Structure 1
Amino acid sequence: MHKIEAQIDVQINDKIKAKVVFESLKPEIKSPPSTRAKVGLEVLNNTLTITINANSISALRASINSYLRWISTILKCLDVIENIN
């Protein structure tokens, strides 16, 4: 089976929010829910870079969907908190 890799750069409008998203995703990197894909995560200024290596297209797609959904959820939570204050 071939290895498949994807790299996604997510621009976040605030450097602090980018760091919060990065820190929030670290537990998923340390204890991945599946061994079908390996994920790397970096943050530089306001850019979050996700690198996914998978053993199949379906595993790659599942990982991409999960990480993008988690990022979206974290950012929505941060917006709600910001609007409360």
Structure 2
Amino acid sequence: MILTDDKTQIVNNVNSTISLEFDSLEESQLVYKSVINEVKTSPDYRSKLNLAIKDNFIHITIDSQDMTSFRASINSIIKWIKLSLEIINLTKF
């Protein structure tokens, strides 16, 4: 919902599902296992994260009360996934 007056817009309830495709089933499983505990233990006062895995895809669902908490959730999940991929790549050598 967007509430407006002359100069202000307030956005409430921001929801999104993002699907990430990985190179292999193994890679998607490793990333999923690496970040699922972070997702489960992250504070959920204003934003809830959910992960699902199917084949070589990870599906991220974000339900937020506002844009600020939505952005924070996006930043967190990207940071966790990026770190997981960096560690996976380090172990390939």
Runs of 4+ in 1 over 6 A off after TM superposition: none
Q: Which runs of 5+ in 1 are unaligned?
A: none
Paired amino acid for 1:41: L
> 2:72 matched to which residue of 1?
62
> 1:17 matched to which residue of 2?
27
Structure with greater Cα Rg:
2
Alpha-carbon displacement from aligned partner over 1:6-38 (angstroms, at most 9, x marks no partner): 111111111111011111111122211342211
> 1:26 matched to which residue of 2?
36
1:52 CA drift (Å): 0.3
2:84 is aligned with 1:47: no
**Range with greater deviation from structure 2 (28-37 or 60-69):** 28-37
1:2 CA drift (Å): 2.5
**Identity, % of aligned positions:** 27
Compare the two structures and name the one with the higher helix fraction.
1
Q: Aligned Cα RMSD in Å?
A: 1.4
Compare the two structures and name the one with the higher strand fraction.
2
Q: Which runs of 5+ in 2 are unaligned?
A: 1-10
Alpha-carbon displacement from aligned partner over 1:39-61 (angstroms, at most 9, x marks no partner): 11011111110000000001001
> 1:79 matched to which residue of 2?
89
SS class of match (1:55): strand
Rounded Cα–Cα distance in structure 2 between residues aligned with 1:74 and 1:35 = 25
